[in-house]
């Protein structure tokens, strides 16, 4: 779920009836809520907690649903299947209403995805309602679902809770099946019906209320039933999926009618029908047996797909077609009806697969005649709790292709595991030796910064060489700070010789590669960083030494490396040779003895820190301070990167008591990510252009540690525009609690300083 959320505007009508906290009666509605309007800004931590109405008798249950269930002879789960279809269809109706509001008002272009969050909660509530209303009165109820009410029970979340309550009640009234009305406490109780841990015993519903929040148009409401550890039925409501085949690389429809409802019950096959209502049709996976003729699905979101790996798998199989990239379990549905032959899901290392992301989709595929396994060929085991205990990735295809697919997968994984990680590259280029030589010679006070320049160039050469050595089959693009222009001028031969010597000595001392670079090799390697980046493809982003003057002083500097995939930063590694593991004081000095920190983050997998000398990585998190009076903040040591009159005004408006911690380089991002301070802001002077390499690695390390990184207007940083950021006035990094307060204070201070109009 997005780190910042927007709530729908609270409707103005008064509730006619509320379910009391102790009542189990069914309530009727005497007022119809008006249509909800679009959301004002409301951060996620301002989201907060009311009783769940159960039917008093079977009379409250819909006759038409019971009739449908009685017609399904031979299906031992007919009643449950009918209830599941009803539940996801009703939830889909709510989601479509929210999405329509988003599209009409242009909110889809914003980074803040709160209206989707409102739909997440609303969908889960409606599914819980229908299942409880339709289940036998004597049946115990257990549901494993994605959402809980924790955020909604926090102070300041009353408005968004009211919005969810209004939206749910409006959907129930519009549907007309149930005479119930939710109070706010009932909403919270219904959400928390999904807190079951599941397991190998008993029956447990498994729900993803909206699977594919960012999904390139496609999303799904996915509901399955687990019985004694086995998935026995599943339904997928895919409101934007065509009833015909998927016809293009973005998962677009090749026909006009959209809204597909997939269903499957163990031993009874799989079906698809229209969400608007149509006769169900049996479906089957495709019968392709030659991978050359196959097409494959993978996730639209980079966090769920190691595209280097899936590309390698496709190449080994001889697959000719480009991948079809859509998100959500809609891929399982499309595969089950034969739109494609293979589905590959290989998330980044450390990502834990949740059972609600696969339970419904997997049974739809298997009942359509397909197979779904992990990367070692083992069946998925949904009996272990809320997470899958699996090996590396998930693959789905037909029986004919599975043996060759498994072999290609295992061969590609083996090759990938032999490659060095970006962390090892960063360790190789941390250049402490050059800094030691600087300090011995007392050069830091001179205007001539040649040794620093040697380190800048040498660092960039080594990263370029290692990336090309470890990823030889991939197209190579790197956006980096340095180029070889000055080194190609008359009189630069001595410096070029120093760089070449330093690089070759470092390679020899490391021992990983048996290569020696010539001067021309060095120049070519430097110029590998001349890419313009952009929104398409993959681009490495490197700052070979960030914080040059800190480097000269013997203080903080960083080597920052990030990977941009289709315009999004998907991983970052940052070496901070002088940053301590323990907290730093207001001069940026260590409170402990051990220094040399290596930070890393991969999208969806969190952030870690380890010693540059080698240690076990430790998970890190931003601090949880919510009162700015208790906060400390980082800003740049160099004045050109910091309008101190403006930042002092911001601190004063927030009531911050602590003096600023002033250090240079992206080390500040690392310090914020591990909780050394609460805020980092950067407000350079006018006309200063922010380079992508100054923020790419640091920003993902903060966001994966649970923080937020925004510009001064509260927008996410966009690193897809080329070599420079297209941002508004300044950059702010902090936790989700403080961000709205800091943005407000920053905008007020900038207006007073004449920075904003």
Nearest Cα to Cα of residue 691 among 543, 528, 547: 543
Based on the domain organization, do 384 and 268 belong to the same domain? yes
Single residue among 138, 171, 196 that ends a domain in this structure? 196
> In a 3-state reduction of DSSP, which class is residue 73?
coil
Is 702 a residue whose pLDDT tops 70? yes
Find the CATH number of the domain harbouring 164. 3.30.540
- Whether residue 706 lies inside any domain: the answer is no
Is 66 a residue whose pLDDT tops 70? no
Based on the domain organization, do 32 and 106 belong to the same domain? yes
**CA distances to 382, 543, 705, 706, 717 from 605, in Å:** 21, 23, 9, 11, 20
User: 620 forms bridges with which residues in the sheet?
Assistant: 607
Residue in this structure with the two tokens 């904003």, named with its chain if needed: 756
Q: How many domains does the chain have?
A: 3
> In a 3-state reduction of DSSP, which class is residue 123?
helix
To the nearest 10°, report the CA torsion of 334, 335, 341, 347: 100
- Whether residue 730 lies inside any domain: the answer is no
Is 208 within any annotated ligand binding site? no
Lowest mean pLDDT among 361-375, 627-641, 727-741: 627-641
Return d(Cα 743, Cα 710) in angstroms, integer: 9
pLDDT band at 33 (very low <50, low <70, confident <90, very high): very low
8 Å CB contact between 346 and 189: no
- Whether residue 123 lies inside any domain: the answer is yes
Based on the domain organization, do 472 and 394 belong to the same domain? no
Return d(Cα 285, Cα 481) in angstroms, integer: 50
Lowest mean pLDDT among 27-31, 83-87, 716-720: 27-31
Based on the domain organization, do 173 and 85 belong to the same domain? yes
- Whether residue 64 lies inside any domain: the answer is yes
Is 374 within any annotated ligand binding site? no
Based on the domain organization, do 350 and 463 belong to the same domain? no
Lowest mean pLDDT among 32-46, 202-216, 582-596: 32-46
| Mean pLDDT across 686-704 | 90
- Whether residue 594 lies inside any domain: the answer is no
8 Å CB contact between 279 and 392: no
**Quick one: tokens of 668?**
């500040």
Single residue among 375, 397, 418 that ends a domain in this structure? 418
Single residue among 543, 576, 609 that ends a domain in this structure? 576
Is 238 a residue whose pLDDT tops 90? yes
Find the CATH number of the domain harbouring 572. 3.30.540.10
- pLDDT over 90 percentage in the chain: 54
Is 175 within any annotated ligand binding site? no
Structure confidence by residue, pLDDT tens digits, 173-206: 999 999 999 999 999 999 999 999 999 999 999 9
Of the two residues 44 and 301, the one the predictor is more confident about is 301
Based on the domain organization, do 124 and 102 belong to the same domain? yes
Is 555 within any annotated ligand binding site? no
Based on the domain organization, do 118 and 16 belong to the same domain? yes
- Whether residue 659 lies inside any domain: the answer is no
pLDDT band at 321 (very low <50, low <70, confident <90, very high): very high
- Whether residue 645 lies inside any domain: the answer is no
Domain of 320 in residue numbering reads as 201-418
Q: Return the pLDDT at 454.
A: 83
Is 577 a residue whose pLDDT tops 70? yes
Based on the domain organization, do 151 and 206 belong to the same domain? no
Based on the domain organization, do 166 and 230 belong to the same domain? no
Is 711 within any annotated ligand binding site? no
**Quick one: tokens of 320?**
């000719």
Based on the domain organization, do 407 and 537 belong to the same domain? no
pLDDT band at 757 (very low <50, low <70, confident <90, very high): low
Catalytic residues: 120, 213
3-state secondary structure 204-251: EEEEEEEECCCCCCCCEEEEEEEECCEEEEEEEEEEEEECCCECCCCC
| Mean pLDDT across 289-297 | 95
- Side-by-side strand order, sheet with 595-602: 478-480, 538-546, 558-565, 568-580, 595-602, 607-611, 618-620
Based on the domain organization, do 181 and 229 belong to the same domain? no
pLDDT band at 410 (very low <50, low <70, confident <90, very high): very high
- Whether residue 749 lies inside any domain: the answer is no
Nearest Cα to Cα of residue 620 among 598, 590, 592, 589: 598
Is 727 a residue whose pLDDT tops 70? no
| Mean pLDDT across 589-597 | 65
Return d(Cα 189, Cα 187) in angstroms, integer: 5
| Mean pLDDT across 584-600 | 65
Structure confidence by residue, pLDDT tens digits, 109-167: 333 444 557 999 999 999 999 999 987 665 689 999 999 999 899 888 898 899 999 99
Q: Return the pLDDT at 414.
A: 81
Nearest Cα to Cα of residue 170 among 161, 181, 159: 181
Is 677 a residue whose pLDDT tops 60? yes
Based on the domain organization, do 298 and 346 belong to the same domain? yes
Of the two residues 577 and 583, the one the predictor is more confident about is 577
């Amino acid at each position: 779920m997005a780190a910042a959320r927007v709530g729908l505007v609270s409707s103005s009508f008064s509730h006619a009836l509320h379910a009391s906290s102790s009542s189990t009666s069914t309530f009727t509605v005497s007022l119809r809520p008006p249509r909800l309007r679009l959301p004002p800004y409301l951060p996620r931590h301002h989201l907060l907690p009311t009783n769940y109405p159960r039917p008093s008798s079977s009379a409250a249950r819909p006759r038409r649903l019971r009739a449908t269930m009685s017609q399904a002879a031979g299906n031992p789960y007919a009643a449950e299947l009918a209830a599941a279809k009803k539940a996801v269809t009703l939830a889909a109706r709510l989601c479509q209403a929210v999405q329509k509001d988003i599209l009409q008002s242009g909110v889809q272009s914003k980074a803040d995805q709160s209206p989707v969050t409102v739909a997440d909660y609303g969908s889960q509530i409606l599914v819980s309602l229908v299942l409880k209303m339709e289940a036998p009165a004597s049946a115990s109820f257990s549901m494993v679902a994605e959402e809980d009410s924790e955020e909604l029970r926090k102070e300041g979340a009353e408005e968004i809770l009211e919005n969810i309550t209004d939206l749910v009640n409006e959907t129930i009234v519009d549907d007309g099946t149930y005479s119930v009305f939710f109070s706010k406490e009932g909403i919270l109780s219904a959400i928390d019906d999904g807190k079951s841990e599941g397991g190998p015993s008993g029956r447990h519903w498994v729900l993803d209320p909206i699977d594919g929040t960012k999904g390139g148009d496609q999303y799904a409401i996915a509901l399955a039933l687990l019985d004694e550890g086995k998935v026995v039925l599943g339904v997928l409501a895919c409101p934007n999926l065509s009833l015909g085949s998927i016809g293009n690389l973005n998962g677009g429809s090749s026909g006009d009618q959209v809204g597909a409802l997939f269903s499957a019950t163990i031993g009874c096959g799989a079906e698809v029908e229209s969400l608007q209502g149509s006769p169900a049709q049996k479906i089957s996976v495709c019968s392709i047996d030659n991978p050359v003729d196959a097409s494959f699905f993978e996730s639209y979101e980079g966090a769920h797909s190691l595209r280097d790996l899936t590309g390698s798998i496709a190449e080994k199989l001889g697959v000719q077609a480009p991948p079809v990239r859509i998100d959500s379990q809609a891929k399982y549905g499309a595969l089950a009806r034969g739109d494609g032959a293979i589905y590959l899901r290989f998330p980044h290392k450390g990502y834990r697969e949740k059972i609600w992301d696969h339970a419904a989709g997997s049974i739809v595929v298997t009942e359509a005649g397909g197979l779904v396994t992990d990367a070692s060929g083992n069946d998925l085991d949904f009996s272990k709790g809320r997470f899958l205990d699996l090996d590396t990735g998930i693959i789905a295809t037909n029986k004919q292709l599975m043996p060759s697919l498994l072999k290609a997968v295992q061969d590609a994984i083996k090759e990938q595991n032999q490659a060095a990680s970006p962390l090892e590259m960063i360790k190789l280029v941390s250049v402490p030796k050059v800094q030691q030589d600087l300090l011995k010679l007392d050069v830091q006070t001179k205007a001539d910064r040649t040794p620093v320049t040697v380190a800048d160039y040498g660092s960039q050469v080594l990263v370029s060489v290692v990336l090309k050595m470890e990823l030889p089959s991939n197209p190579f693009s790197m956006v980096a700070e340095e180029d070889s222009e000055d080194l190609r001028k008359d009189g630069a031969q001595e410096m070029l010789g120093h760089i070449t010597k330093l690089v070759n000595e470092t390679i020899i001392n490391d021992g990983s590669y048996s290569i020696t670079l010539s001067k021309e090799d060095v120049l070519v390697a430097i110029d590998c960083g001349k890419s313009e980046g952009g929104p398409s493809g993959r681009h490495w982003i490197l700052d070979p030494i960030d914080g040059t003057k800190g480097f000269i002083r013997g203080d903080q500097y960083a080597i920052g490396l990030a990977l941009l995939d289709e315009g999004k930063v998907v991983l970052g590694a940052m070496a901070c040779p002088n940053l301590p593991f323990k907290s730093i004081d207001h001069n940026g000095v260590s409170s402990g003895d051990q220094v040399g920190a290596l930070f890393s983050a991969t999208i969806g997998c969190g952030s870690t820190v380890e010693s540059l000398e080698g240690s076990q990585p430790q998970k890190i998190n931003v601090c949880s301070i919510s009162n700015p009076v208790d906060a400390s903040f980082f800003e740049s040591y160099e004045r050109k990167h910091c309008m101190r009159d403006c930042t002092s005004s911001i601190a004063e408006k927030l009531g911050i008591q602590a003096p600023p911690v002033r250090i240079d380089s992206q080390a500040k991002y690392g310090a914020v990510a591990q909780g050394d301070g609460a805020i980092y802001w950067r407000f350079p002077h006018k006309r200063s252009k922010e380079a992508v390499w100054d923020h790419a690695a640091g920003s993902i390390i903060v966001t994966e540690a649970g923080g937020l990184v925004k510009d001064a207007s509260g927008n996410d940083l966009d690193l897809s525009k080329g070599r420079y950021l297209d941002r508004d006035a300044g950059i702010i990094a902090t936790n989700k609690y403080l961000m709205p307060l800091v943005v407000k204070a920053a905008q007020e201070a900038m207006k007073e300083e004449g920075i904003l109009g």
